Amino acid sequence: TIFDAIRKRPILLHHPFQNFSPVVDLMRQAAKDPQVLAIRQTLYRTGANSEIVEALADAARRGKEVTAVVELRARFSEAENLELASRLQEAGVIVVYGVVGYKTHAKMILIVRREEGRLRRYVHLGTGNYHAVNARLYTDYSFMTCDESIGDDVNKLFQQLTGMGKALKIKKLFHAPFTLHKRLLSLIERETELGGKGRIIIKINALTEIQLIKALYRASQAGAKVDLIVRGICSLRPEVPGLSDNIRVRSIVGRFLEHTRAYYFGNDGKPEVYCSSADCMERNLLSRVETAFPIEDPELIARVREDLDTYLADNCQSWVLQPDGGYIQNQPAEGEERVASQLVLLERLTGKS
């Protein structure tokens, strides 16, 4: 089963280069497995007729305790999410609507399973929505683990979202609106203190939060090397003399919509990597429920770094932000090998072009 695979080691998938079906399989197996006692999931933009929703409904009909945190205010999906909530409730799912005043944008699944006389928590954390169509068109990370600390953290977050308690003593996750913003600033500051040894690579959809921008400017002025892969809005100006000489910004525009959020910090040779549902915007970091989760397995850290390096090597689908706010498309120099990052990832992760 997929539970056996997760117990052996954590799993990191990069969609759509790697199929979304293992996430669906996880939910289907959880619904049918008599050892699974409870399932909890956040649903932001999913669709009432998705396989994930069918698995949740099936689990509830089989007598499992199933809770869905449905965000009704997901833009352009309000009506669909009302239909989704109604369908889940009819199947016996406990539907809650999160924390008043804060959109629930985190992507989390928690599965509680009885194994050898004890309870084990299995967790899925992602950077994108639980939507099969999106999983074929958007690039996103899926992370599956049974790490006890992460499972405990996710359980506490669900307790908070369902009104059963406060999210206290979170061990490994960063969570907005409480710790995520502060911890990102702290990690940038650590690289700043390393000066020329500092290394930061951040891949997100947008960068507008002023405190993070100022922190990145300080890191650049201290000599740290900063690469930002920002698909959309970027309020930071790179390569401005005396301000951001050591910052490079690029946007990748290709066959798939870039949607992964990854934060890499060199940490003087002991790299730390986080993937997240959050962009570097004030609304995400201070006005939404978001998570950032650590990638701790050395091989998976190396994989994320290899992905990021592939984007940084792109000379076909990348647009480089200029100090004046304009963009120039990268072109391979004469005799230089063409690198289209999405095609490279497609070939690397699937063996197909």
Where residue 148 falls (left for φ over 0; alpha for ψ -120 to 50; beta otherwise) is alpha
Element (H, E) at 336: none
* Residue length of the chain: 353
State the DSSP code for 322.
P
d(CA 69, CA 98): 6
d(CA 270, CA 190): 12
CB contact at 8 A, 96 and 102: no
- Rounded alpha-carbon distances, angstroms, from residue 45 to 66, 211, 240: 18, 29, 39
Residues 6 or more apart whose CB falls under 8 angstroms from that of 344 comprise: 310
SS3 185: helix
Annotated catalytic, 105?
A: yes
Residue 195's Cα: distance from chain center in Å?
Answer: 28
Which of the following is catalytic: 14, 15, 105, 124? 105
CB contact at 8 A, 93 and 40: no
d(CA 339, CA 345): 10
Known catalytic residues are 105
